[in-house]
Structure 1
Amino acid sequence: MDSDLIYLLYEQCMSSTMDIASVFSALNHNPELKDLSCINFQRLLRCASALKDDVLQPQPHMVSVIAPPDILPPIITEFLSDLFHITLEAVDMLWDVVKDIVWVLPTELEEREAVETMFCLHGKDRGLTALVLYPPNKTCINAECNAQQCGSVLKKEEQCQIVVFTQAEDCATRTTTIIMLSDQGLGTIMEDYQVHCNSHDQDWQFKTSPTTEEVWDTFILLALLNDHECHSSRLRIPHDQYQKDRYTIAMHTRNEHIITHGQYELPHACHGCMRIFHMPDGMTHYTKVVVTDGVTVGRPCCAVPHCKNSLESTRHRFCSADPNHKQRETMCAVEGCDKLVAHDDHTGKYRKACANPVHLKMEDMKAVSTWSGKSKMQRTKTAKLNDALTSTGADEDALPVQDIDEWYNHNPSTGNVSLVQASSSSSTGVVNCLPLTSSMDSQMLDVCPDKDEAVKLKATFFWQRTNNEQLFICPCGVISGRGTMYHHEAVSNVLVLFEKIFSLPHARKPQHLIYDSNCNALREVESRKIKFFEGMGMCVDAFHHKTKHKASDTFCQQHCDMKAYPELLDE
């Protein structure tokens, strides 16, 4: 190292900061360093700054941690030498020049925040931001476009502000004003994020925390992207629709694929759901078990019984896919009345009942019951009732949907209208509105025949809710398939759903189906001679078999007891 460079470095070490001219002047005295590119010089500063703790670790105890040490550890010198293809002597000379800069160099996060602060202070009013999303293509992607054939660059500019969520190393992310200069839509997925507001963005139009809709959209988008990645395809969604409708077609396509090909977990088998066992005759076999049950997580659906079309909005009672169903929105909600709905001059809105005073009173009574929270409790009771009706093996199409839920009693003589809802009289779901027994018929004979009987009216003032989601689960917890039961968990529908799911390609037909109403399901199989279930064990789970099924039911005790199958017993 020549004397002029030593003197220059000595002068610079006396100051806590170094200007650019002094740094490049010092580098210019070394033939090897003066050819160092600006990019490599910047990277060297970043790498050296990231290794500050490694530089301090082998230094003597008396060396200050505030000032940079004069000598680099040999391993650091060799690392920088190999990284930037310079000699060890050149690294030592370079360290003498830039060590003060390296020691006070801000981290990438601190530098990023400083740049964003400068843009917020001086660039926001000018439409400038630290992060700008440009389209990946600088020319039109349409091969038939004249501009694309001529190689013309895209110049159309449309600006809008968006929010970009990113996952940072410290699990905290920033919100940044974005200007979009493209017609193409961009989306980013985050797995875990927290948002904090910059002090300079108090008047920003966006909220500082994600909304429920954004979380749901992110979940849906992540699921769709994962699905397309598994199929090596590209997700395409429209950009000219409302946000709530953008993913509808893609989700419908994914659901249709699952219906026709099954879920990825359909052929699943592991030690938790498939057992290899030895029979008394010495033969070795394997058995796979699937458990099915209904989970009461209903969703809004068309009020027409057994209609599977989705609602356009939860403000509607009937679907729009069927014109006959859609027309019922303009008709009185009371069954048997085909008059048009009345117009409320006070609110300026249409009612759901016609001008008949009795029908209007029914609608008002239903509104009061809904806001009182009684209907929420009633849905819980109705779920229990559905389980009770399932255990009886009743056909779904024969069940009166409205009768088991609620109705209105109208006394013509007094004009009184009362709302009656089915109530559960026991934990098993038996209700007081089931068909009359012979003993009840004898009690009804004592009622005075001249007494006016209330007229029973039914109405549909709101959309209906699906009954449950029927799940087919392996004992290890993996869900093999599911289906929606729109009104009741009828055993006939459970059998049809099971056969459809395990007849799909790559499906593994289990040797045992466990179901809390398998005794009724097995009767259905034998009466209809369904070949798909031949040779399959159909048992009731131990809890229901012991506590919910009668010991006097010989059919259930002989054919649906898990104890009759050695492969299902504990070792």
Structure 2
Amino acid sequence: MSTSLIETAKHLVAAPGVVHTTLLFISVVHRLWDYLHLVHAPRYPGEPAPLHPDVLAFLSNTVIPESFLDRTAEVRNLWDILRAEIPTWKGPLLEAEVDELLRKHGPLYNLGAYMLLPPHRTCVNPSCANVGSKLGKHYLTEARLYTLRNGVLPVYEVPLYCKHCKTRYRYAYSVNEAKQDSSHRVYYTTIPRRYIHAQSASFLEDRFFENLTCSAHVSTTNLARSYNSDLGQTENMLQTSLSTNILQSTVLDGFFLHALLRRAQRHDIPLEIAHRGVEQSHRFEGALHQFNTLMAGTGQPFYAHACHGCFKIFLHPETGQLQFIRAVVTDGVTIGHPCCRVAGCQNELMSNKDHFCGEHHALRNQCLVRGCKANAEPGRITCTEPSHRAREEAHIKASEPALLDLNRRLLSDGVPTSARRHATSLSTQHRDLSVQKAGGSGLTLEFARSTTHHDQLATFGCGVIITRMSMHHNEGVSSVKDFLKRVFPYPWLLPTHIFYDHACGLLQHLRAQKDRFFDMVRLVVDVFHARNHHKDDGDTFCNNHTNPALCPELLLADGKWTINSSVAEQTNVWYGAFQAITREMSMARFNFFLDEMVSLRNEWFIGELERAGKQPFLLDFSAAESEWRQAHPQSL
């Protein structure tokens, strides 16, 4: 060991606290480095940057021990000696201790655990007459950062401003003419941001509980409750006007915003969201619709997936040529969102409490007897038709016994009843009751909102989900045909086999319609349903055309099936569990949320396939397209 190292070691042993103080000083300054150079940048190259007064006071009072006589002088000395090394410091940093120090004392000095600056120091607005000019007019905005490992941290956002084009640059986005009702936030989709600006004073880590929602179906309400009672419980938090509790809406907005940013990056398009003139709950609606359109059908990142579990290569026994199997399973899941009650209407509701969309809003005053088109009388739920009015009276009478019993309980306890308690409310504004029948006339009162019938899924034989789509009507073969054409819009994208529990009906429908789009695809009833499919009704079409036993390529030498055609049933269990979370979402949020859950699950599932040795990869359809076009020149 050299003499210099020995002497250094002796000094360290003699003053152990000095090492810790020096390392803590480096850690704090390293954390605040970008902010320091923003607020007190050198006037010319090579000039020593001054230390900001707030940072100087914070370091003097919290980092330097009280045993030093002149703590401020010690900070200045350390700054002069170490400032050149701190930007490129590769040694250890006391991150957890810095968090606690800034959590407890930072806000007293206008400092947060993180100072959230925009990524630009000069204007990058291409419409600015002085593009490239230096940004200024910084100010501090207090906020909260919700983390999974370090609890709730106080932070400050430090926006910058271009006086020439009036663009305000914030941590996550820029906004031009921010005071105008038509202003929009343009997010930095090409510059990774570590935190998600979920709401005005709330930031989240970028994958805040997303996988827990995906895998365990935990609602954002329960996530917020769990965080506030466990992970968010932090000692030494300086009390300010901002609450440390996270809101359910913050968790949900953070999820949607992070997912929107991911999709914008994937498609290499800008993400713009309304800045003013819109409520927070509707702020993302335009962007959600935009990216829902891009996702529909073929938009999932693993649309071209293949692996040893769903893509099989075999030697044809007659021709001796190599061939492949690419199998897909489709099935429906009972899950849906509120929709317009007019049959066939797919317009979005203005509010989830509405029964009709904007186009059919005038029908809200119709008589509630099923099939009746007349308007109800004011204060009534039925029209003047005597039988309809009788049905309304029967409904009122049916609700009276429970009301009278409750009133008797009040009287037995000596509690006076009021006229209001005897009145029967006919309002259905907040009801979500099932269709009600009373008496024996056969007339039905419809109180319930309408919901979409189900979601249709397409899944590879390995379990990776290709896509999903909400179906407004029942799972008829015509609807399934339209769904499959949307999933596989071109012939060269079609799989070799499609498993569907009513494949026989679909094939009959295609033949009746003279639709030859699926001629090169084997439509097969999945093995689970095939055993009892039309077993006793004398229908031989299914057995003669869609029986999986007709496809020897699907069988291995030992008699086992090479494709797991029951994978849809297993996937449905996972997918259907989101009903409780999504049932009150708008159409845009419903579709976006479930598409994102599918994407997150696929990411996880691909990792599982890799670990299982299935060697997942993405197909390149360009060769298949070229081959198909050469074989079908008449279709060009």
TM-score (norm 1): 0.60
Match of 1:78 in 2: none
Distance 1:480 1:131 in 2: 40
Out of 477, 480, 483, which is 2:466 matched to?
480
Which shifted more, 523-532 or 250-259?
250-259
Q: Using a 3 Å threshold, how does the CA distance of structure 1 residues 179 and 352 change in structure 2: closer, same or farther? A: farther
After TM superposition, give the deviation of residue 22 of structure 1 in Å: 11
Q: How does 1:53-452 map to 2 (within 5 A)?
A: 107-120=94-107, 122-123=108-109, 129=112, 131-136=114-119, 154-155=136-137, 161-166=142-147, 171-176=149-154, 178=156, 181=159, 186=172, 187=197, 189-192=205-208, 194-201=231-238, 204-208=241-245, 210-240=246-276, 241-259=278-296, 261-284=298-321, 285-320=323-358, 322=359, 325-334=360-369, 335-340=371-376, 342-343=378-379, 358=390, 360-361=392-393, 409=437, 417-418=438-439
Which shifted more, 306-315 or 184-193?
184-193
List runs of 5+ in structure 1 lacking aligned partners: 1-5, 29-33, 51-105, 344-350, 369-404, 410-416, 419-453
Match of 2:82 in 1: 38
Whether the 8 Å contact between 1:332 and 1:340 is mirrored in structure 2 is: yes
1:560 aligns with 2:541: no
After TM superposition, give the deviation of residue 20 of structure 1 in Å: 8.4
Out of 442, 451, 455, which is 1:456 matched to?
442
Could you tell me which amino acid in structure 2 is paired with residue 220 of structure 1?
A: F
Out of 477, 498, 508, which is 2:484 matched to?
498
After TM superposition, give the deviation of residue 526 of structure 1 in Å: 1.6
Q: Using a 3 Å threshold, how does the CA distance of structure 1 residues 134 and 267 change in structure 2: closer, same or farther? A: closer
Which shifted more, 106-115 or 535-544?
106-115
Structure 2 residue matching 1:473: 3-state secondary structure: strand
Distance 2:293 2:398 in 1: 37
1:246-270 Cα shifts (integer Å, max 9, x gaps): 2221121112123375433333222
1:180-239 Cα shifts (integer Å, max 9, x gaps): 65655632542247423344445654342x443333323322222222212223322122
Distance 1:150 1:282 in 2: 67
Whether the 8 Å contact between 2:296 and 2:467 is mirrored in structure 1 is: no
Could you tell me which amino acid in structure 2 is paired with residue 327 of structure 1?
A: A
CA RMSD across the alignment = 4.3
Whether the 8 Å contact between 1:341 and 1:353 is mirrored in structure 2 is: yes
Q: Using a 3 Å threshold, how does the CA distance of structure 1 residues 40 and 456 change in structure 2: closer, same or farther? A: same
Distance 1:290 1:534 in 2: 16
After TM superposition, give the deviation of residue 314 of structure 1 in Å: 1.7
Distance 1:155 1:23 in 2: 29
Could you tell me which amino acid in structure 1 is paired with residue 552 of structure 2?
A: P
Whether the 8 Å contact between 2:103 and 2:236 is mirrored in structure 1 is: no
After TM superposition, give the deviation of residue 309 of structure 1 in Å: 1.4
Q: Using a 3 Å threshold, how does the CA distance of structure 1 residues 319 and 253 change in structure 2: closer, same or farther? A: same
Q: Using a 3 Å threshold, how does the CA distance of structure 1 residues 142 and 286 change in structure 2: closer, same or farther? A: closer
1:525 aligns with 2:510: yes
Could you tell me which amino acid in structure 1 is paired with residue 256 of structure 2?
A: I
Match of 1:545 in 2: 530
Structure 2 residue matching 1:493: 3-state secondary structure: helix
Distance 1:365 1:40 in 2: 85
Structure 2 residue matching 1:162: 3-state secondary structure: strand
Q: Using a 3 Å threshold, how does the CA distance of structure 1 residues 163 and 242 change in structure 2: closer, same or farther? A: farther
Match of 1:61 in 2: none
Out of 461, 468, 471, which is 2:454 matched to?
468
Could you tell me which amino acid in structure 1 is paired with residue 362 of structure 2?
A: Q
Whether the 8 Å contact between 1:262 and 1:501 is mirrored in structure 2 is: no
**Count of aligned residue pairs for this structure pair:** 403
Q: Using a 3 Å threshold, how does the CA distance of structure 1 residues 108 and 269 change in structure 2: closer, same or farther? A: closer
Distance 1:164 1:11 in 2: 37
1:316-371 Cα shifts (integer Å, max 9, x gaps): 11112x1xx1112233333415325634xxxxxxx755687546557769999xxx
Structure 2 residue matching 1:519: 3-state secondary structure: helix
After TM superposition, give the deviation of residue 38 of structure 1 in Å: 2.9
Q: Using a 3 Å threshold, how does the CA distance of structure 1 residues 268 and 198 change in structure 2: closer, same or farther? A: same
Whether the 8 Å contact between 1:471 and 1:479 is mirrored in structure 2 is: yes
After TM superposition, give the deviation of residue 153 of structure 1 in Å: 5.5
Out of 516, 519, 526, which is 1:534 matched to?
519
1:252-305 Cα shifts (integer Å, max 9, x gaps): 111212337543333322221122122331423212211110011222111112
Distance 1:12 1:472 in 2: 67
Structure 2 residue matching 1:228: 3-state secondary structure: helix
Distance 1:21 1:205 in 2: 35
Distance 1:11 1:565 in 2: 78
Q: Using a 3 Å threshold, how does the CA distance of structure 1 residues 46 and 198 change in structure 2: closer, same or farther? A: farther
* Structure (1 or 2) with the larger CA radius of gyration: 1
Match of 1:59 in 2: none
Structure 1 residue matching 2:327: 3-state secondary structure: strand
Q: Using a 3 Å threshold, how does the CA distance of structure 1 residues 133 and 362 change in structure 2: closer, same or farther? A: farther
After TM superposition, give the deviation of residue 13 of structure 1 in Å: 4.3
Q: Using a 3 Å threshold, how does the CA distance of structure 1 residues 214 and 14 change in structure 2: closer, same or farther? A: closer
Distance 2:117 2:398 in 1: 54
Structure 1 residue matching 2:535: 3-state secondary structure: coil
Distance 1:300 1:555 in 2: 38
Distance 1:118 1:22 in 2: 17
Distance 1:132 1:11 in 2: 33
Which shifted more, 310-319 or 106-115?
106-115
Could you tell me which amino acid in structure 2 is paired with residue 173 of structure 1?
A: G
List runs of 5+ in structure 2 lacking aligned partners: 1-6, 19-66, 161-167, 173-196, 198-203, 210-230, 401-432, 558-636
Whether the 8 Å contact between 1:162 and 1:177 is mirrored in structure 2 is: yes
1:516 aligns with 2:501: yes
Structure 2 residue matching 1:176: 3-state secondary structure: strand
Which shifted more, 303-312 or 287-296?
303-312
Whether the 8 Å contact between 1:562 and 1:569 is mirrored in structure 2 is: no
Q: Using a 3 Å threshold, how does the CA distance of structure 1 residues 492 and 132 change in structure 2: closer, same or farther? A: same
Structure 2 residue matching 1:206: 3-state secondary structure: coil
